[in-house]
Structure 1
């Protein structure tokens, strides 16, 4: 295990998560099935911006803590798998290029890395998205609320789960989103990065300085990430619905208690409230979204996700590559 890769992944994860987290919260709220009911004022035909933009860092603690080991696991697996596949890739007699194209190797390495990373990340992702939907009623006084409701949003979200296994609900949906995303992003990212480096090298302007590495990687990753984000938005919407539904696997008695709590001044978003609806698979959820809102519903939040991913991926992978250079693990 390469310590520099782990450190580089951790540095990238913490620095970027704090910066782009508010955009992720907005995306979750836009994709929520309760968006129209909570954040849209039908009487004025406008978005309730005050409520939509409130508490944008809710649930940030859990995701920032868990992305350190998950990102470390991802990059360690990705770099290790990429190296092994490249070494095992034969070059046919009479040909200068290897048998398996580099984009396929990059896709395979990123796919395996995502399977490992998603298993670590899923519980925090479930908590994060449910915490992002915790909301206070307009005009409620924080000082007058019961002590229970003065807890951080992450702890309030955690209290909605009866069993630890519920925190892994949505793993398959997270994998279903991240696998095609990384399979699209990383080949494009690696190709763009090498193309820019080759262009600068041919013109004698390639220095391999840390600042240059950061800029090249940021442009390459941001461009590739935004394209992949738009194409995988429908899967992301389904993933959001499934993870928000995980906290609704509660009994009728618990539902009544939640109602009583809401009357005290705090509301927790409830999605797919019936027991039957909670256990729907990804295809069933996608079908429901399409029937309710059409194709537009499946791409809700797509533009915001493209911007967020371009910014996040650009800064994240740029910080990772730059950290590797700074730590002495200069890429070839």
Structure 2
């Protein structure tokens, strides 16, 4: 397969992200609710001493619109940056004297490329994440339906933000979670994919087909994503708390009432002190409230969600990238 163009990488990444957003979004909503400091207050029924499942599982697609809106640009930025940095590093990476192995190990190259790509992608993704996670926490009455945009959780959340810069609150928390995650996931993913492909070639089972690429990629990405997700759960808990608290300081001098059904994470949380170690403050708060167990709240759900999402995401991305490349070459050959 010929090298893909930036447009092909952009399209493949956008289609993959859009597909995953629709399929696994409910699991992401549940994870957000589990990690919220208001989890017990909103979703636990003390009278029955059990979780109120009817409320917990209601509105699982709340806030999905904001994510879909930035799917194409954020995923496109990530993959075009990742592929460009990886290719550039591979070209200038010298080999060791008397050896075919590169001087800089491939896992380091993959970690560096994914980290740089993540920093760029997070700039686009942060506003959508802030809106999404706050919308996921809006409680709707049973049997309610949105007859207009103004009644939607997303609109209710947007009313709390008076300045566009408030939507960037949480960038450092998102980057602090995503950088270690991608720095671990992509080297493991690339190594597993290379190992599986090598094994299949030695056994004479390699076909070079799109379906084989999709299957190998999905298995490799699923395993890598699951491990990386579990390890970085404490960072995800902190990120969730910071983004949910973004509405809390929307306008201290504003007298406008809160939209019906909206949730505020409570005064005294750390969102206004982003420049003074907000992530550390939130981590300490979680530790004081729930101990180490609190930092790993939702770890199992997040690992399962990431295994499914990573496998489908990168599987669809790689197979679409291969299909687009082959289609372009085939079309050019036919035209010749």
TM-score by structure 1 length?
0.92
Deviations 1:213-239 (A, max 9, x none): 111000000000000000000000000
Give the equivalent residue in structure 2 for 1:153.
153
For 1:103 and 1:82, how far apart are their aligned partners in 2? 11
Q: CA RMSD in A?
A: 2.0
Greater CA drift, 218-227 or 241-250? 241-250
Greater CA drift, 50-59 or 150-159? 150-159
Give the equivalent residue in structure 2 for 1:295.
292
For structure 2, the 5+ residue unaligned runs are 328-336
Which of 269, 272, 277 pairs up with 2:266? 272
Give the equivalent residue in structure 1 for 2:22.
18
TM-score by structure 2 length?
0.91
Give the equivalent residue in structure 1 for 2:234.
234
Deviations 1:283-321 (A, max 9, x none): 010000001001111000110000000000000000000
Report matched runs for 1:237-256 at 5 Å. 237-251=237-251, 254=254
For 1:174 and 1:278, how far apart are their aligned partners in 2? 16
- The answer on whether the counterparts of 1:92 and 1:99 sit within 8 Å (CA) in structure 2 is yes
Q: Give 3-state SS (helix, strand or coil) of 1:270's partner.
A: coil
Q: Give 3-state SS (helix, strand or coil) of 2:325's partner.
A: coil
Give the equivalent residue in structure 2 for 1:192.
192
Change (3 A) 1:211 1:255: farther
Which of 309, 325, 328 pairs up with 1:328? 325
- The answer on whether the counterparts of 1:39 and 1:51 sit within 8 Å (CA) in structure 2 is yes
- The answer on whether the counterparts of 1:135 and 1:267 sit within 8 Å (CA) in structure 2 is yes
Residue 34 of structure 2 corresponds to residue 30 of structure 1: yes
For 1:78 and 1:142, how far apart are their aligned partners in 2? 41
- The answer on whether the counterparts of 1:7 and 1:72 sit within 8 Å (CA) in structure 2 is yes
Q: Give 3-state SS (helix, strand or coil) of 2:198's partner.
A: helix
Greater CA drift, 42-51 or 176-185? 42-51
Change (3 A) 1:305 1:103: same
Residue 107 of structure 2 corresponds to residue 110 of structure 1: no
For 2:228 and 2:20, how far apart are their aligned partners in 1? 19
Change (3 A) 1:196 1:142: closer
For structure 1, the 5+ residue unaligned runs are none
Q: How many residues align?
A: 320
Q: Give 3-state SS (helix, strand or coil) of 2:161's partner.
A: coil
Give the equivalent residue in structure 1 for 2:283.
286
